[in-house]
């Protein structure tokens, strides 16, 4: 993960690895009542992956944090197997990590088909792009 150490009372990350575009990495952490999003959003192209890479730092509202926790619950995040054994050549790999106290979880999905996992990834992206004025 691109410098996405999971620290705090509770933390989650999403790393999107497209086949032909630069990666996007998003980390959301909570310590007490303080919730922070850190992201590296890919805005470049396959030919120049660092062109336009944008770092985003922003505080999350309680409502945004609650939406994240609800999305994790809908996806049954803590009970999922790490890998669903699907692979392919073109597409995207979606990696999620979570940390809550001593509990750790990591899942990786190639071109996810589970609606709840897709919604969870889109929520991470929505929250990150909201920090740049979209959404």
The DSSP symbol for 77 reads G
Query: Are the beta carbons of 13 and 3 closer than 8 angstroms?
Result: no
3-state SS assignment for residue 85: coil
Query: Are the beta carbons of 56 and 37 closer than 8 angstroms?
Result: yes
- No. of helices (H) and no. of strands (E), the chain: 2, 6
pLDDT value, residue 49 = 55
pLDDT value, residue 2 = 41
Each residue's pLDDT tens digit, 81-92: 998 777 777 889
Q: Which residues pair with 86 in a beta bridge?
A: none
- Tell whether pTM > 0.75: yes
Query: Are the beta carbons of 110 and 91 closer than 8 angstroms?
Result: yes
Compute φ and ψ for 49, nearest 5 degrees: -60, -20
Could you give all domains of the chain from N- to C-terminal order, each with its CATH number? 10-130 (3.30.1560)
Per-residue pLDDT of the chain (135 residues; tens, 9 = 90+): 444 567 789 999 999 988 877 789 999 999 999 999 999 988 766 666 556 678 899 999 999 999 999 999 999 999 999 987 777 778 899 999 999 988 999 999 999 999 999 999 999 999 999 877 665
Question: Token pair for residue 55?
Answer: 């770092």
Strands (E), the chain: 10-18, 24-31, 34-41, 54-59, 92-100, 103-110
């Amino acid at each position: 993960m691109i410098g996405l150490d999971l620290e705090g009372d509770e933390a989650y990350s999403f790393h999107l690895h497209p086949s032909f575009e630069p990666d996007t990495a998003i980390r959301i952490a909570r310590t007490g009542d303080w919730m922070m999003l850190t992201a590296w959003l890919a805005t470049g192209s396959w030919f120049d992956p660092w062109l336009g890479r944008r770092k985003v730092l922003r505080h999350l509202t309680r409502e945004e944090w609650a939406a994240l926790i609800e999305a994790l619950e809908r996806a049954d995040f803590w009970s999922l197997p790490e890998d669903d054994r699907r692979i392919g050549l073109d597409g995207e790999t979606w990696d999620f990590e979570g940390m809550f106290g001593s509990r750790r979880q990591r899942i990786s999905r190639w071109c996810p088909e589970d609606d709840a996992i897709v919604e969870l990834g889109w929520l991470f992206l929505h929250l990150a792009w909201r920090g740049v004025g979209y959404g």
